[in-house]
Amino acid sequence: MDSSENPVGVLVRDQRGGLAFAYDRAYVSQPGAISLSLSLPLTAEPFEEAVARPFFDNLLQERDGALSDIMAREGIARDDIAGLLFHLGKDCAGALSVLPAGSPPTKVPGDYQKDYQRLEDDRLIAIVDSLHKRRRLPAGTDDPSPLAGMQSKTALTLLPDGSLAGPLPGSGAPTTHILKVPDQEHIHDGSLEYEAMRLSHAVGFSTADVSLLPLAGIEVLLVTRFDRALDRDGRVVRIHQEDFAQALGLPSALKYERRGAPGRRFDVDAVRRILDATDDPAGERELFIQATLFDLLVGNVDGHAKNFALFHEPGGRIRTSPRYDILPTRLDDTLTDELAYRIGDATTLDEISGEDFDLFLQTVGISSAAARQRLSKRYATEIATKLAGHLDRLGKGGQKPLADLIASNMRTLLGALDIEVPGPARDRDAYIGRAGGWLLS
């Protein structure tokens, strides 16, 4: 783990490719030791294949193209997790590194003064252009922190003087920001995610900081990494976190409820189990309810298991991370409108009824019928009212489709919950994305 001189544990593979993981006994016994995952609690007993494989598989990139070189060069199959991590584990996602036994640590704190090299403008533009066109990064440019997800992005560091930089090769220093570059088919994704993240912050959620930069004629999104901090010496350090797929022991292929099976899927019941393990289950449940309402209203139906995360802190304390990766995916007619997890029995926004939302709250863990009715009315009203206050700004700022989508979603969801629609949303144009156009009122 970043900043640790000694291994947390040992990952092994048998001759048939089966994995097992065991914590180092000295690590388990030390004060302040933290578990790698809810699925890998601190214990001296080893974890076998069924538990070990999903967690370590999730340390690899989701984009198979990013693994193709090492697979071709070394003759390694995609399901050979240990083989891939043998070659790629020093740079895998998060605060962890997976290294051949006996190797010294490769992930260490970063000193702004000596561990980073500023990216010249032409170099930065070449990187953006490559990501935009989904081509290989320019020669001599290595992605220092492979990232999960399907969007075109790379990890960089924002220096105190405001310039962007990369860690010096071999430094092991962390990056501090993620640069997301929309591809040619989704040119507006940067500005859309920027607005959705700003709305999340304005509504009151702890949300990763974002800024919009014009580079190479493209609006790219610069996201502050929530899993970074400064130590007492002002050095950049990594904070250990895991996404909900890892916490549930699910491979990334099962990040949507529709891809799993009962008992082994990302659904609201599984989320409740995760939240029950945090330091403040009641508070985290209410935050998840609010986040669900917000996502429904802004049109983000891609809140899958890898878009929610947990912090593991010294002493075994666990809390959810700030919100990240919020994109109004319903604006893209090429994507499904099916929800990442069902609300009651509903699989789309249009199917949600009052009974479905009540069942959702019950599954989250709100047992009192009176409390469910009170919470649904209170949170839906509060979030809708705050969002409605931004519709005019969005419309005048070039984001009319997003403003109209939010207003349409309000009328649909609040109508189902028998809640009055805020005035600014009642009379806006209706967004009819899947019917192929706009309906002007």
> Would you name the residues annotated as active-site residues?
302
- Owner of token pair 């599984």: 270
User: What is the rounded CA–CA span in Å between residue 372 and residue 437?
Assistant: 37
How far, in Å, are 137, 147, 166, 194, 347 from residue 98 at the CA level? 24, 16, 22, 33, 38
Q: Locate the DSSP E strands across 174-314.
A: 177-180, 210-215, 218-224, 228-230, 236-238, 241-243, 309-313
Three-class DSSP category at 83: helix
User: What is the rounded CA–CA span in Å between residue 367 and residue 364?
Assistant: 9
User: What is the rounded CA–CA span in Å between residue 247 and residue 176?
Assistant: 24
The conformation of residue 136, written as its DSSP 8-state character, comes to P
Tokens of 121: 């403008």
Whether residue 429 contacts residue 440, with contact meaning beta carbons closer than 8 Å, is answered with yes
Total residue length of the chain = 441
